[in-house]
Chains A and B, each alone.
Chain A
Amino acid sequence: MTQSFEESTSPLEAPGRFTESACDGRVRPALGPLPHEQFERRALVAPEATAVRFRDLSLSYAELNRRANRVAHELSARGVGRGARVVVCVEPALDVAVALLGVLKAGAVYVPLDPTYPEARMRAMLDDIEPRAVLTQEKLARKLPVSPALVLPLEYLSQALPVENPRLPVAPSDTAYVFYTSGTTGQPKGVMGSYANLRHYVGVAVEHYDIDERDVMPAIARFSFSISLFELMSPLVTGATLLVLDREHVLDAARMARSLSEVTIFHAGPSLLRGLVAHIREKYADFEAFSRVRHASSGGDTVPPELLEALKEIFANAEIFVIYGSSEISCMGCTFPVPRWRRVTRTFVGRPFDNVSVRVLDAEGSVVPAGVVGEVHFAGEGVTQGYLKRPELTAERYVELEGRRFYRMGDRGRMSRDGWLELVGRTDFQTKIRGMRVELGEVEYELRRAPGVREGVVAARSATDGEKRLVAYVVFDERAAGDAGPSRMGAVRAHLAAKLPDYMVPAVYVELERLPLNENSKVDRRALPEPNEADLRALARGSLRDAESETERALAASFRELLGLKQVSLDDNFFDLGGHSLLALRLTADVERKLGVELDGMEVLREPLEVLARICDERQGRPSLRPTAPVTRRPLERPEIFHFGPEQSLYGVLHGRALDQSETAVLVAGPVGHESARARFVLNKLGRELAREGKPTLLFDYYGCGDSLGSSADADLERWRADIRAACAELRRRTGARRVAALGVRLGALLLCDALPELDLTRLLLWDPVHDGVKHHRSLARMQRAYLKSVAHLRFFRLRAAKPPPNELLGTTFAPAALAELESLSLAPLLGRSSVDIRWLATSGADCDAALASNVGAGIAHLSVECLDVACGWCDVRALEDTIPDVGVTSALRSMLREPA
């Protein structure tokens, strides 16, 4: 049986169990001379060794050093030194190494500029850079929108310039380079790194990946990306050989594959690697040609686990790594050594490099507990100086914490208890769907894990009704077995529905041959196509059957109008086509206006258009034109029902069964009284969904409530706490699960917290818990008074009979002792009695909103509060008899439960 990595022991030395999302790399002294000085030493030690190759050309270390020295002397002669920005605008050639080393030796600032950029962008960047010199090639010199006086073609360097090492003054704190990265506003921003940053960058890479003079490393990335420094400098400071490749070469999979047969170490982005892997698998009978490769790494974008598995297969002798970082932290933040003996199933990016610290923080800047999602921050020697001429942005992104300077990555991640960082998305990829926050990266993460999916991205698109819907763009792996067409896409949707909260499941699916890439070989989200009719119909069953009768046509028109479609079929279900509960209300109103018939939401939820039309016809008293044709749907798995506990007095409902003891089972301590009936629908739905995720879930009724035996008047709170303990024991007995998480709802949450020390839970979720017994009692009494006043006219002449005893509250008769104890209970002191991880879901309109929840939980480190902007109407007398629909609650609870503790 294949074991996943996360189930295994750590492949690196275990740093101990982490309770908080904070991990520090080893602390090492500064790593020796500056990189260009290390290169000079190599030129002294092995002058004839090949330093750099490009096509049939090459330079030895001695020759490269001489040429670089000439550049440095020329710059110095022009007065270009410390702090002066020198643009290097060259096409791939030997010149790139000459220019880079020349600038560093001059103590100046290396600023690469891609010659393929449009002139306007190039001009804007040059205006921002204000270069003191521009190193380029003769063929490019005239194209550059810059004063000719600044331009220095490398071919025209005087041979008379000195070739000795210049020994120009440079301090580690001097700015060494500026790399431009894309900004969310569309304006590129320059990241300034110091010589110390550069020394750290190259130093940790060389040391961690053990690069030496035997290595051959290609420069695959564009020179304008900061990761290019890894490729350019790592070989040159270790005596290895740098292999420069031109862009056509890099983008030609066949040529790249041939090149990889002669290198020993390489790094490439996941998009490029996917194409390479596909080519190699198709064209190579075996992978012997790549046996020289001893290191392959990827990064810069999410590296899917299946790609890592493919790299392991092709580069059998290589260590595979994921590298995680950004220009702002000198690229080397974390690295993940992909284990060969375990299958990788998640997007780990590993642990920090030496002299690097990583923290996962919540919105308030506090370190979150291990396993909890937050924003990733880095500190250490790699953290760069900031953005060129952008002090406000620098202050926003580089923040002071724990007395240290941290950079906010903008990535959402979580740390395992072993200190492994996993990415789950971007903070700036958040959107709101029907008022609920959706992290697109999280949806993409699951989309890429769906069966047959090679690549996938998700975008939020506005439909004709102005509502935003999620659109999934999918590239299928053609080698994967399985059907084509709707069923394949249906499988993707089914996978997402099983893994994600329903509001996060994309409504529309678009199949693409490949994802559009930008110049950085990253997915170009702006180039993703708008979904068309065929995409919207991708999930529809079978072929299109047109509406025929008047009723069918009227309903079809409503479907089209509300969903923004051009065509609908008789087989279409409103929800399958992207409808949701709010739209369903509009549909029922629309149908009532057009046909004078009221449909109910359950019918809209369950029935295809054809059946809805039949219902309308029946309600209008018209015979349907069509015979009854059953439409088969997948039945839901039925839960087990039973009595258990003392004298078999408690009614229990078990969704799913656990077979694996490592799985987590879930106990639901529901509300008491009328709230229990209101929440039954949504809690059963939650149970079904959790069971589908492999988490068996037990719901039960307290003694004297629902379908349990007895009367509530005979139960005190201790009896109900005992019921929770009995239910927990029953859940463990029936499922064999050792790990139990619990969900407490309203008064059930308060009772659950009171019983907490005896339950041995792995996690506790609270959904709108009663936080103060006195207030809850008063709230019930207030609602009851309001209700009875509204029906007082019914019993005007029976006022005495209408006045219920004080222990009867909203349909539940409490034992007097129970009410007395309820008034003595308060949630806050109970929360601190256990170290179990507690998540609190606060909906709007409850008696305890998110702000109050935060106050109640203040000072409890293992508690976090999530807010859901929906009203469940717990304290609303008008909602007394309403079933709580699933307004995102099950989705939120599943998410909170899914994040590992």
Chain B
Amino acid sequence: MNERTTRFGPEQRLAGILTEPSSGTARHGCVLVSAGLMPKAGPYRLYTELARRLAHEGIVSLRFDLGGIGESTPDASGLPLRKRTESEVRAAIDHVSAEFRLDGVTLAGLCSGAEDSLRSADLDERVSGVVMIDPFAYRAPGWFWRHALHRAGRRTLRAFGIHAPITQPGGGRSRVVKYHYMEQPEAAGILARLIERGTRLHFVYTAGVRESFNHPSELAAAFPGLDFRDRVRVDFLPHLDHTQLLAADRSTLVETIARPLRAASATFSAA
């Protein structure tokens, strides 16, 4: 595995790390899209670990800071944030495609990085796959009774002192930065187009989105008009928290993502 710093995009203002397999020629690439204000290493180095695992599978990856985060300077064009993000992800795809002769590029991200990946995939036909960790989720029939059961269990554990939620003083912390999930109609449109295009979509849900998602079947239930065919894979890891504090959890998540990607990469190589 080799890692090197790189700058790309307009005026070289985006900063990233390229992680390559130490041997062989990578035919598949992955762009890791950062989440929120989190720098390119990801929460608890999740992106770093994922990039190295992918290199082990023969996949080159680029993790980078979006404009204004980490070592990337902000876009001075005055365009709205979403437009800027889309152009920055496109620049990352351009860069990794120019550096390596790739057969396909997968976008991957956590939370806002997941949705930025999905939107960018919709705009760029070079994207052959999207991996989304805790993206949008919409309550579907079945969620309510599962949630009720879960709450009852949680309250029981609280009564025994096993579970103690972190209390937020004053009814919750005021955060300057808040995240908004993609609206359902927009998500449905993008999914339909990507499935039609043959893009592989990998949804990974943790307990971080339990307020909206608590069963693997829920994704399909939330989009009843869509035929997922064999293009959509859903993994639900309810014992993992949103940012995977524990190394074992991060390892589980990394494996959950890496295995299908390795398979996809092998498919490309074989082709």
Give A contacts to B, CB under 8 Å: 581, 584-585, 588, 598, 600-603, 606-608, 611, 614-615, 618-619, 621, 628-639, 641-643, 651, 653, 674, 677, 680-681, 684, 701, 705-707, 709, 784, 786-796, 798, 801-802, 804, 808, 810-813, 877-883, 885
Give the distance to chain B from A706, nearest Cβ to Cβ, in Å.
Answer: 5
**Which residues from B are CB-within-8-Å of A882?**
173, 175
List B residues 1-32 near A (Cβ within 8 Å): 3-5, 7, 11-13, 15, 17
**Which residues from B are CB-within-8-Å of A608?**
78
Nearest-CB residue, chain A, relative to B48: A707
Nearest-CB residue, chain A, relative to B246: A804
Q: A633-B78, A707-B3 are in contact. List 9 more A-B contacts (CB 8 A).
A: A638-B7, A643-B4, A677-B39, A681-B37, A788-B246, A796-B162, A813-B247, A880-B245, A883-B37
With A790-B166, A794-B238, A801-B248 known as contacts, the answer to whether A635 contacts B41 (CB < 8 A) is: no
CA distance A653 to B248 in the complex (A): 30
User: At the interface, yes or no: B202 with Cβ under 8 Å from chain A?
Assistant: no
CA distance A801 to B245 in the complex (A): 13
CA distance A586 to B254 in the complex (A): 39
In order of increasing CB-CB distance, the 3 nearest A-B pairs are A601-B176, A631-B78, A811-B44
Contact B7 A878 (CB under 8 A): no
**Which residues from A are CB-within-8-Å of B5?**
641-643, 651, 707
Contact B176 A614 (CB under 8 A): no
User: At the interface, yes or no: B154 with Cβ under 8 Å from chain A?
Assistant: yes
Nearest-CB residue, chain B, relative to A805: B247
User: At the interface, yes or no: B69 with Cβ under 8 Å from chain A?
Assistant: yes
Contact A786 B43 (CB under 8 A): no
Nearest-CB residue, chain A, relative to B164: A789
Contact A709 B3 (CB under 8 A): yes
**Which residues from B are CB-within-8-Å of A651?**
5, 17
**Which residues from B are CB-within-8-Å of A812?**
44
List B residues 167-199 near A (Cβ within 8 Å): 168, 173-180, 183
Contact A684 B70 (CB under 8 A): yes
Q: Which of B43, B48, B176, B241 contacts A585 (CB 8 A)?
A: B176
Contact B15 A638 (CB under 8 A): yes
Q: Which of A606, A784, A796, A811 contacts B45 (CB 8 A)?
A: A811
**Which residues from B are CB-within-8-Å of A585?**
174, 176
User: At the interface, yes or no: B229 with Cβ under 8 Å from chain A?
Assistant: no
With A790-B163, A883-B37 known as contacts, the answer to whether A635 contacts B11 (CB < 8 A) is: yes
Q: Can you list 15 A-B pairs, Cβ within 8 angstroms, ordered by A?
A: A588-B176, A600-B177, A601-B177, A606-B74, A621-B183, A630-B77, A635-B13, A641-B15, A642-B5, A643-B3, A707-B5, A709-B3, A794-B240, A811-B43, A811-B44
Contact A598 B11 (CB under 8 A): no
CA distance A199 to B236 in the complex (A): 90
A-facing mask of B230-263, CB < 8 A → 1, else 0?
0000000011110101111000000000000000
Contact B153 A793 (CB under 8 A): yes
Q: Which of A581, A629, A813 contacts B176 (CB 8 A)?
A: A581
User: At the interface, yes or no: B38 with Cβ under 8 Å from chain A?
Assistant: yes
Contact B207 A794 (CB under 8 A): yes
Give the distance to chain A from B32, nearest Cβ to Cβ, in Å.
Answer: 12
**Which residues from A are CB-within-8-Å of B4?**
643
With A632-B76, A638-B7, A796-B162 known as contacts, the answer to whether A808 contacts B179 (CB < 8 A) is: no
**Which residues from B are CB-within-8-Å of A802?**
239, 246
Give B contacts to A, CB under 8 Å: 3-5, 7, 11-13, 15, 17, 36-41, 43-45, 48, 68-74, 76-81, 83, 150, 153-154, 157, 162-166, 168, 173-180, 183, 207, 238-241, 243, 245-248
Give the distance to chain A from B124, nearest Cβ to Cβ, in Å.
Answer: 20
With A600-B177, A680-B70 known as contacts, the answer to whether A808 contacts B247 (CB < 8 A) is: yes
Contact B80 A607 (CB under 8 A): yes
Contact A677 B176 (CB under 8 A): no
Give the distance to chain B from A684, nearest Cβ to Cβ, in Å.
Answer: 7
With A606-B74, A794-B238 known as contacts, the answer to whether A674 contacts B44 (CB < 8 A) is: yes
Q: Which of A581, A585, A607, A796 has the most CB of B within 10 A?
A: A796
Contact A706 B39 (CB under 8 A): yes
Contact A706 B45 (CB under 8 A): yes
Nearest-CB residue, chain A, relative to B155: A793
**Which residues from A are CB-within-8-Å of B70?**
680-681, 684
With A791-B207, A794-B207, A811-B245 known as contacts, the answer to whether A600 contacts B166 (CB < 8 A) is: no
**Which residues from B are CB-within-8-Å of A793?**
150, 153-154, 157, 162-163
Q: Which of A611, A653, A701 contacts B80 (CB 8 A)?
A: A611
Contact B246 A635 (CB under 8 A): no
Q: Which of B13, B43, B166 contacts A787 (CB 8 A)?
A: B166
Contact A636 B157 (CB under 8 A): no
With A633-B78, A638-B15 known as contacts, the answer to whether A796 contacts B164 (CB < 8 A) is: no
Q: Which of B72, B78, B168, B180 contacts A598 (CB 8 A)?
A: B180
Nearest-CB residue, chain B, relative to A712: B45
Contact A600 B163 (CB under 8 A): no
Q: Which of A614, A636, A810 has the most CB of B within 10 A?
A: A636
Give the distance to chain A from B87, nearest Cβ to Cβ, in Å.
Answer: 12
CA distance A684 to B70 in the complex (A): 7
Q: Which of B40, B76, B173, B246 has the most CB of A within 10 A?
A: B246
Contact A615 B73 (CB under 8 A): no
Nearest-CB residue, chain A, relative to B74: A636
CA distance A631 to B239 in the complex (A): 46
Contact A707 B17 (CB under 8 A): yes
Give the distance to chain B from A875, nearest Cβ to Cβ, in Å.
Answer: 14
Contact A684 B174 (CB under 8 A): no
Nearest-CB residue, chain A, relative to B169: A878
Give the distance to chain A from B112, nearest Cβ to Cβ, in Å.
Answer: 10
With A585-B174, A638-B15, A641-B7 known as contacts, the answer to whether A798 contacts B39 (CB < 8 A) is: no
Contact A584 B246 (CB under 8 A): no
CA distance A632 to B83 in the complex (A): 15
Give the distance to chain B from A575, nearest Cβ to Cβ, in Å.
Answer: 12
**Which residues from B are CB-within-8-Å of A632?**
76-78
Contact B81 A706 (CB under 8 A): no
Give the distance to chain B from A823, nearest Cβ to Cβ, in Å.
Answer: 21
**Which residues from B are CB-within-8-Å of A677?**
38-39, 41, 43-44
Contact B162 A790 (CB under 8 A): no
Give the distance to chain B from A691, nearest Cβ to Cβ, in Å.
Answer: 12
Contact A619 B76 (CB under 8 A): no
Contact A630 B177 (CB under 8 A): no
Q: Which of A641, A792, A798 has the most CB of B within 10 A?
A: A641
Give the distance to chain A from B102, nearest Cβ to Cβ, in Å.
Answer: 23
Q: Which of A619, A636, A883 contacts B73 (CB 8 A)?
A: A636
Nearest-CB residue, chain B, relative to A791: B241
Q: Which of B168, B179, B241, B243 contacts A794 (CB 8 A)?
A: B241
Q: Which of A638, A639, A808 contacts B11 (CB 8 A)?
A: A638
Nearest-CB residue, chain B, relative to A634: B76
CA distance A636 to B165 in the complex (A): 41
With A638-B73, A796-B162, A811-B245 known as contacts, the answer to whether A598 contacts B80 (CB < 8 A) is: no
Nearest-CB residue, chain B, relative to A674: B44
CA distance A523 to B183 in the complex (A): 59
